[in-house]
Amino acid sequence: MTEQVPARPCLVVVGSGIAGLIVAIAASSTHDVTLITKAELGESNTRYAQGGIAAAMFDDDSVASHIADTLVAGAGLNRLSAVEALCAEGPERIRDLIRLGVEFDRVPGGELARGLEAAHASARILHAGGDATGSAIERALVRAVRTTAARVLENTFVNDLVVDESGRVVGVEVVSAAACGVAGTITVLADAVVLASGGAGQLYAHTTNPAVTTGDGVAAAYRAGAELADVEFYQFHPTSLAVPGNFLVSEAVRGEGAVLRGADGARFMVGVHPDAELAPRDVVARAIAEQMAKQGGAPVLLDATELGAEFLERRFPSISQACRANGLDWGREPIAVTPAAHYWMGGVLTDDWGRSTVPGLFAVGEVACTGVHGANRLASNSLLESVVFAWRAVAVLQGHAGAGAARFVTEGWPDVAADAEGDSAWHVRALGDAPDSGLPTDRSDDASGDASDDAKFSRAALQQLMWNAVGVYRDAATLSAAQAQFARWQTACDATPAETITALEDRNLLLLARLIAAAARQREESRGAHYRSDFPETSTLFHHHQISARKAALPT
């Protein structure tokens, strides 16, 4: 009699950045893994990450110091248990990356090289290839995943999640780029789905994110009933090249000594914050925006000339190449820079093990909101978050950790008690589908009609409106006007079937724009990356997280 080998559980991983690749690699020993990416394998935000990855790897640093820096940047909304997991497990996860083939930069003698970035008390930022850290990590992990038995579906768009009658996610609906139309949708079933699909930088007219970042995973999770958190918190990187494409100029450049100057050549950050150019990102981004307003919208100047052309070429080869491509010589003259949308702290609400509020659905990386970043991400914590919580999600899938139900699943509205660990920061207020909440509903009767010219939707118009009304500066009047426009666009889009992948992406972007604008309007304070010019101070009344949920059981 032949003994039958039990079938291995099936796992679908959506996204091929650092988080998705780590999940696919680590889970392949116990699961039949299908890795789905809507572009080529490796095309993600990870690939473009310059600043590096932070971890307390050195004798003059400590996990406690890394935790403290992360909490300060998060402006009171970090989940302490998530931050502790991030910082404590970070060093071992770095060693995992090295074992997987990532070649971090080293100093003569073989020690890991390290740099300093804004809001870090210690030089703890590791780089690879100078300013090509993300690309180096991506290449190594792509090589590693190809050695596994994981099935890889490239150029495949995840249209929606498949949810069974019990409310459990049991697979995904996908569309091949070759098929283009929704008619080409097929279903891939799974025992669990891990979203690692990244953020939504394409919401904004100016963004450092690649074209694939259209928020598809967050939107699909919302439609499947998953709760989202902190969607109003979008981080704007202070310095991108003021040229088409907004090539990111790493914060590490300022960490090495570059300074910001106005059009008159004078430094302006010295009078804004004690740390000047090394102030938290939100502070620097707003200061640049204010300076640009003072000089008629002209970009500010990043002056790295004191560092010398030879050093800049060696330390920042990718930025140097981008400057040359745009006719700039940043070793000899300052370069024009502007803020740009960079990283989304909000996303699919998860516990400390990557589990969402919907059974069978996990989320890791920028698509997720673990609470680790709070209201503002500390520089170079994003790659670390991806790898730490990817490993944690796999540990749960393999039955090694995370016993018990997902924590802080909302149990009542509008206020929910602290989670099981007593983390007082994780109080939440719900934003539901009530008609007066400003959130998308299943109906479109909140719109004023689609007869006017401004009802004609385009992605470019959405991106410009998000930049103008839901960008670095926000206020009630512009947010309200933006919500009304989004509603008109929703009516127009609902009347037109989404027959291409681009149209499906647009549907997701419009949904997320409405969610972010509603949450930003609700938060009548300034905190972290969220700045309300009509409420410029931080308020204790808003020391809570906001939950966006499609079908909230609102009290009568």
Q: Residue 279 has what pLDDT?
A: 87
Q: How far apart are CA 38 and CA 175, in angstroms?
A: 9
Q: What is the reported pLDDT for 363?
A: 98
Percent of the chain with pLDDT over 90: 75
User: How confident is residue 438, by pLDDT bands cut at 50, 70 and 90?
Assistant: very low
Beta strands 428-431 and 156-163 are unpaired
Q: Which pLDDT belongs to residue 402?
A: 67
Nearest alpha-carbon partner for 172 in 157, 184, 183: 157
Which amino acid type is present at position 52? G
Least confidently predicted of 97-101, 165-169, 427-431, 511-515: 427-431
Residue pair 84/67 in contact by the 8 Å Cβ criterion: yes
Q: What is the mean pLDDT of residues 117-144?
A: 89
Mean pLDDT throughout 249-259? 91
**Contact 106/113 with Cβ under 8 angstroms?**
yes
Q: Can you tell me the mean pLDDT for 446-462?
A: 65
78/82 Cα distance (integer angstroms): 8
Query: Is residue 457 predicted with pLDDT exceeding 60?
Result: yes
The answer to whether residues 21 and 204 touch, using CB atoms and an 8 Å cutoff, is no
Find the mean pLDDT for residues 246-268: 93
292: number of Cβ within 10 Å:
20
Residue 459 designated active-site: no
| pLDDT value for 429 | 61
| DSSP 8-state code for residue 369 | E
CA terminus-to-terminus distance, the chain: 63
- Sheet of 335-344: strand order equals 234-241, 335-344, 300-303, 259-261
Per-residue pLDDT, 420: 28
Torsion over CA: 506, 512, 518, 524 (sign): negative
- Of 199-203, 498-502, 510-514, minimum mean pLDDT range: 498-502
The candidate with the shortest Cα–Cα distance to 51, out of 238, 243, 321, is 238
Q: Which tokens hold the place of 412? A: 């009542």
CA distance linking residue 174 with residue 185, whole number of Å: 5
Tokens of 486: 């989004």
Question: What mean pLDDT do residues 62-87 have?
Answer: 96
Model confidence pLDDT, tens digit, residues 318-369: 899 999 999 999 999 999 999 999 999 999 999 999 999 999 999 999 999 9
CA atoms lying within 13 Å on the CB side of residue 343: 31
Q: How far is it, in rounded angstroms, from Cα 359 to Cα 351? A: 12
Band of pLDDT at residue 453, cut at 50, 70 and 90: low
Closest Cα partner for 49 from 317, 302, 241, 248?
Answer: 248
pLDDT at position 554 over 50: no
User: What average pLDDT does the segment 46-69 reach?
Assistant: 87
Is the CB of residue 466 less than 8 Å from the CB of residue 486?
no
Q: What is the mean pLDDT of the chain?
A: 87
Tokens of 351: 């516990």
Rounded average pLDDT over 108-133 = 89
3-state secondary structure of 133: helix
Mean pLDDT of 398-421: 47
Q: For residues 200 and 521, what is the distance between their CA atoms, to the nearest angstrom?
A: 19
- Name the least confident of 27-31, 164-168, 412-416, 456-460: 412-416
Please give the Cα distance from 428 to 507 (Å, whole number).
Answer: 27
Q: Residue range 186-213: average pLDDT? A: 95
How far CA 532 is from CA of 110, 311, 428, 469, 479, in Å, comes to: 48, 40, 20, 11, 10
What value does the CA radius of gyration of the chain take, rounded to a whole number of Å?
A: 22
Q: What is the mean pLDDT of residues 107-112?
A: 94
**Closest by alpha carbon to 188, among 157, 210, 219?**
157
Determine the average pLDDT of the residues in 521-542: 96
Pick the more confident residue, 280 or 246.
Answer: 246
How many residues make up the chain in this entry?
556
Given this model, what pLDDT does residue 551 score?
57
Q: Which residues pair with 106 in a beta bridge?
A: 112
Cα–Cα nearest to 190, from 9, 391, 6: 9
Query: How does DSSP classify residue 70?
Result: H
Residue of 254, 281, 377, 521 marked catalytic: 281
Whether the per-residue pLDDT at 307 is higher than 80: the answer is yes
Could you identify the residue written with the tokens 């995840």? 158
Return the pLDDT at 553.
Answer: 37
Whether 43 and 210 have beta carbons less than 8 Å apart is answered as yes
State how far the Cα of 484 lies from the Cα of 418, in Å rounded to an integer: 34
pLDDT at residue 117 in the model: 80
CA dihedral 303, 304, 306, 312 (to 10 degrees): -160
Mean pLDDT of 20-42: 94
Digit-coded pLDDT (tens) for 78-87: 999 999 999 9
Percent residues over pLDDT 70 in the chain: 85
Q: Which of 347, 350, 341, 344 is nearest to 382 (CA)?
A: 344
Q: What is the pLDDT of residue 433?
A: 47
Collapse the DSSP code of 95 into the 3-class scheme (helix H, G, I; strand E, B; otherwise coil) and give the result: helix
> How much is the average pLDDT of 261-289?
92
- C-alpha triplet 262, 264, 270: angle, nearest 5°: 45
Contacts of 400 (CB under 8 A, 6+ apart): none
Tokens of 483: 């919500």
Instruction: Give CA–CA dist 338/283, Å, rounded.
Output: 14
450 φ, ψ (degrees, to nearest 5)? -125, 25
Question: Three-class SS string for 373-418?
Answer: CCCCCCCCCHHHHHHHHHHHHHHHHCCCCCCCCCCCCCCCCCEECC
Q: Measured between alpha carbons, how far is 50 from 132 in angstroms, rounded to an integer?
A: 5
Residue whose structure tokens are 């890889």: 152
Confidence tier at 46 by pLDDT (50, 70, 90): low
**Above 70 in pLDDT, residue 538?**
yes
Q: How far apart are CA 193 and CA 169, in angstroms?
A: 7
